[in-house]
Amino acid sequence: MPGAIHAEGLVKTFGEVRALDGVDLDVPEGTVLGLLGPNGAGKTTAVRVLTTLLEPDAGTAVVAGIDVCENPTAVRRSIGLSGQFAAVDEYLTGRENLRMVGRLYQMPAREAKRRADELLERFDLAHAGDRTAKTYSGGMRRRLDLAAALVVRPPVMFMDEPTTGLDPRNRQSLWEVIEDLVAGGTTLLLTTQYLEEADRLAHDIAVVDHGRVIARGTSDQLKARTGGERIEVVVHDPAHIPVARAVLDRHGHTGGGEGCTVEQHTRKLTVPVTGGAKLLAEVIRELDAEGIEIDDIGLRRPTLDDVFISLTGHATEPGDEPAAGTAGGAAHDAATGAGGTGTEEDDR
Amino acid sequence: MSAIPRTAEATSAPQGRGGLAQSVTDSLTIAQRNLIRMVRIPEVLIFGLVQPIMFVVLFSYVFGGSIRIPGAGTSAQQYREFLMAGIFAQTVTFATAGASAGIAEDMHKGLVDRFRSLPMARGAVLTGRTIADLVQTALTLIVLAAVALIVGWRAHDGIWRALAGFGLLLLLGYAFTWIGALIGLSVRTPEAATSGGLIWLFPLTFISVAFVPSENMPAFLRHIAEWNPFSATVVACRDLFGNFPPHYRLPDAWPMQHPVLASVIWSLVIIAVFRVLSVRKYRSATV
């Protein structure tokens, strides 16, 4: 049985750029698919096709059992969309925004009103319900936008980079909202640039690059392909490298067969591990006991860049692909974003 | 943040009533939204009034004594009466810029994407916008008419003919907001929409009979001025307000001889053409 979202061979071109180059997707009912990829990879275009905003040049898409091209209006009754920007009217109050959306979903006025109050309460916006959205913080606007997408309790939800631009605290609270939503049985397709986000929210992940799905699987499967966790150590004195190596080799996980790798000129040693932070603490103690001075040490988990390098053999850096100008510029943003995630992870 | 009740059953939106009834309610929902915005951003309405009032004063008192109207000599009072229909008409057409800027902003902020993903009537976002603009135009006209009365303008042929004149003005203004809608959907930024919605109105309103009679223009411009949709409404209003000097002779061009009919036809044609083009553009709108 096809899933709540099912797409085959979606193609969409804008001039020279093939934004979608034969995308197949299947999201079983009640599950979450994370579309992971840099800006310009085609994630947003895929969402726009599936939410009836854009007609594909080729391929078919069925959402909630309805063909997107044949009966877009029926599809619109069954979906909620939370786009890349908080699409709320900033001169309307939170309550007015939600009522308007309810009315446009063809709800009777009284029901739209009741539902607006309910959603404000649930999204922790009741205190701000009668203030214009202009006065809201970024996180509040995002929550209002998400509430607007949930006005009819749609069985299928689309979220395009729901946490881009949010600070860590707001990102965390939005994740909780999304988890609640999914626990209630909603099918969700979510796009993101952050592996961490896909990791936390998605059952399945499809990695998208240049309009194609280049890999799919669970978060663990993708991480396994990318190499999993590793400890990175930079020693102060090059003479200490052999001793440090011996320590790390004792703790490196044996499954993959690859041991410690050493970059002589940067005095950096890297070893794949499975023990997480606890192991890191142990390694630090042992290195200390051996009297090795450390310049830097950290536990690194795979970042989007790592996934990309391992899957495509190229980084999400600008200039390495002769694709269209827009895609190149967007890839640069993605590289910056992924770099940020990496730093966050290192800090833990 | 309270947890979502697990019992919350997913439900699709109710089946809309479809057809005209749904178009009307959806349009009114959007119109209401735009009117709330108008109340919360009163600057827009206020600045919309400054320009026409400035024109009333400039043309009445600065140019008024020097512009000669056939059959009226150089009486400033008679020029003021002649002028006012032109200012009224110019003011209603300037609603175009508001519509184009508003719609471009909705596109830019992702609101159009949200609306397009909702099961609402296709033309309602644009129709709602134009209805709200019509209300704004009507308010502007009321204030402007009061200013005109203060500087000595009068409608001489009775209240019904005067109201008919204002009706034509509103129809013209409504038609022009559909041009504004298309511009708003076609440009990339709200800033471009503001200037793009405005610039072409200057030649349109000046190459017309709004401020000066056409008879002294070069033949080429005279034909444009006399067939200009804008001129038809101006002449129709002068006629309905009784604002022509006693011995004024209208040009021979058909729209100038049948201004009321010409004004109605022009406005309806503009609405029909630009509504179709705008709604089509809206359906495939991308920023």
Closest chain A CA to residue B109: A87
- Most B-contacting residue of A45, A68, A89 (CB-CB within 10 A), to test interface: A89
- Verify whether the Cβ–Cβ distance B14 to A107 is below 8 Å: yes
Close Cβ partners of A127 (under 8 Å, ≥ 6 residues apart): none
- Selection from A340, A341, A339, A316 nearest residue A329 by Cα: A316
| pLDDT mean over A286-313 | 80
CA angle B233, B209, B132 (to 5 degrees): 35
- Selection from B118, B106, B163 nearest residue B22 by Cα: B118
- The answer to whether residue A316 scores a pLDDT higher than 60 is no
DSSP letter assigned to residue B90: H
| pLDDT mean over B251-277 | 95
Place of tokens 């512009």: B67
pLDDT tens digits, B109-157? 989 999 999 999 989 999 999 999 999 999 999 999 999 999 889 999 9
B284 contacts on A by Cβ (under 8 Å)? 54-55
Euclidean distance between CA atoms B21 and B249, whole angstroms: 48
Quick one: how far is CA B85 from the chain centroid? 14
pLDDT attached to residue B264: 97
- Verify whether the Cβ–Cβ distance B12 to A155 is below 8 Å: yes
Bridge partners (DSSP) of residue A205 are A34, A217
Give me the architecture of the A5-223 domain, per CATH: 3-Layer(aba) Sandwich (3.40)
Quick one: how far is CA B202 from the chain centroid? 14
B113 touches chain A (CB under 8 A): yes
- The answer to whether residue A270 scores a pLDDT higher than 70 is yes
Shortest distance, CA A200 to any CA of chain B (angstroms): 18
Closest chain B CA to residue A72: B119
Please name the member of B10, B16, B111 whose beta carbon is closest to the beta carbon of A154: B10
pLDDT tens digits, A73-121? 999 999 999 988 888 999 999 999 999 999 999 999 999 999 999 999 9
**What percentage of chain B carries pLDDT values higher than 70?**
94
pLDDT tens digits, A122-143? 888 999 999 999 999 988 998 9
Which two tokens mark B181? 């809608």
B118 touches chain A (CB under 8 A): yes
Strand order of the sheet with strand A5-14?
A17-27, A5-14, A58-63, A66-67
Which two tokens mark B131? 């209805």
DSSP letter assigned to residue A193: S
pLDDT attached to residue A99: 96
| pLDDT mean over B210-238 | 92
Euclidean distance between CA atoms B100 and B283, whole angstroms: 16
- Selection from B131, B118, B110 nearest residue B33 by Cα: B131
B32 contacts on A by Cβ (under 8 Å)? 100
CA angle A84, A87, A90 (to 5 degrees): 135
Euclidean distance between CA atoms B195 and B213, whole angstroms: 28
Strand order of the sheet with strand A268-272?
A261-263, A268-272, A230-235, A294-300
| pLDDT mean over A31-37 | 92
Place of tokens 């709602």: B128
- The answer to whether residue A315 scores a pLDDT higher than 70 is no
B10 contacts on A by Cβ (under 8 Å)? 153-155, 184-186
Cα distances from A305 to residues A108, A270, A288, A309, A334, in angstroms, run: 48, 17, 31, 6, 9
- Verify whether the Cβ–Cβ distance A106 to B33 is below 8 Å: no
HSE, CB side, 13 Å, CA atoms: give it for residue A51. Answer: 28
Q: Are A58 and A130 in contact (CB under 8 A)?
A: no
- Map out the domains of chain B as residue ranges: 23-283
- Verify whether the Cβ–Cβ distance B12 to A77 is below 8 Å: yes
A122 contacts on B by Cβ (under 8 Å)? 1-2, 4
pLDDT attached to residue A343: 32
pLDDT attached to residue A326: 35
HSE, CB side, 13 Å, CA atoms: give it for residue B20. Answer: 0
A164 contacts on B by Cβ (under 8 Å)? none
- Verify whether the Cβ–Cβ distance B10 to A181 is below 8 Å: no
Euclidean distance between CA atoms B22 and B17, whole angstroms: 6
Bridge partners (DSSP) of residue A14 are A17
DSSP code string of B28-70: HHHHHHHHHHHHH-HHHHHHHHHHHHHHHHIIIIIITTT--BT
Q: What dotted CATH number matches A229-300?
A: 3.30.70.100
Shortest distance, CA A96 to any CA of chain B (angstroms): 8
Query: What's chain A's length in residues?
Result: 348
A96 contacts on B by Cβ (under 8 Å)? 33, 36
Place of tokens 């009217």: A89
- Verify whether the Cβ–Cβ distance B119 to A84 is below 8 Å: no
Closest chain B CA to residue A45: B286
Closest chain B CA to residue A77: B13
| Average pLDDT for chain A | 83
| pLDDT mean over B256-283 | 96
**Single-letter amino acid, residue A337:** G
Closest chain B CA to residue A50: B117
Cα distances from A48 to residues A20, A84, A106, A326, in angstroms, run: 11, 11, 22, 18
**What percentage of chain A carries pLDDT values higher than 70?**
85
| pLDDT mean over B7-17 | 67
Shortest distance, CA B177 to any CA of chain A (angstroms): 21
Euclidean distance between CA atoms B54 and B99, whole angstroms: 22
| pLDDT mean over A257-263 | 75
Shortest distance, CA A325 to any CA of chain B (angstroms): 17
| pLDDT mean over A314-340 | 39
B247 touches chain A (CB under 8 A): no
Close Cβ partners of B248 (under 8 Å, ≥ 6 residues apart): B69, B70, B71, B72
B28 contacts on A by Cβ (under 8 Å)? none
pLDDT tens digits, B78-118? 888 888 999 999 999 988 988 999 999 999 998 999 999 99
pLDDT tens digits, B24-54? 999 999 999 999 999 999 988 888 888 888 8
pLDDT attached to residue A307: 73
Query: What's chain B's length in residues?
Result: 287
pLDDT attached to residue A227: 66
Which two tokens mark B222? 């005279």
Euclidean distance between CA atoms A139 and A191, whole angstroms: 18
Shortest distance, CA A131 to any CA of chain B (angstroms): 12
Cβ pairs A/B, distance under 8 A: 126
pTM: 0.81
Please name the member of A73, A88, A153 whose beta carbon is closest to the beta carbon of B9: A153
pLDDT attached to residue B189: 87
pLDDT attached to residue A329: 35
Euclidean distance between CA atoms B109 and A133, whole angstroms: 13
Please name the member of A55, A101, A180 whose beta carbon is closest to the beta carbon of B118: A101
pLDDT attached to residue A37: 85
| pLDDT mean over A43-62 | 93
What percentage of chain A's residues is helix, strand, coil (to nearest 5)? 45, 25, 35
- Verify whether the Cβ–Cβ distance B13 to A154 is below 8 Å: yes
pLDDT attached to residue A254: 55
Residue A29, number of CB atoms within 10 A of its CB? 17
- Verify whether the Cβ–Cβ distance A53 to B4 is below 8 Å: no
| Average pLDDT for chain B | 88
CATH 3.40.50.300 region(s) of chain A?
5-223
Euclidean distance between CA atoms A145 and A81, whole angstroms: 9
| pLDDT mean over A189-196 | 87
CATH 3.30.70.100 region(s) of chain A?
229-300
pLDDT tens digits, A10-32? 999 998 888 999 999 999 999 99
Within the 28-57 window of chain B, which residues sit less than 8 Å (CB to CB) from chain A?
A: 29-30, 32-33, 36-37, 40-41
| Top-confidence residue, A334 or B206 | B206
pLDDT tens digits, A230-250? 888 999 988 889 888 888 888
- Verify whether the Cβ–Cβ distance B109 to A121 is below 8 Å: no
Cα distances from B153 to residues A26, A62, A335, B145, in angstroms, run: 70, 64, 66, 9
Residue A151, number of CB atoms within 10 A of its CB? 26
DSSP code string of B145-202: HHHHHHTT----S-HHHHHHHHHHHHHHHHHHHHHHHHHHHHSSSHHHHHHHTTTTHH
- Residue A60 DSSP SS3: strand
Q: Are B113 and A145 in contact (CB under 8 A)?
A: no
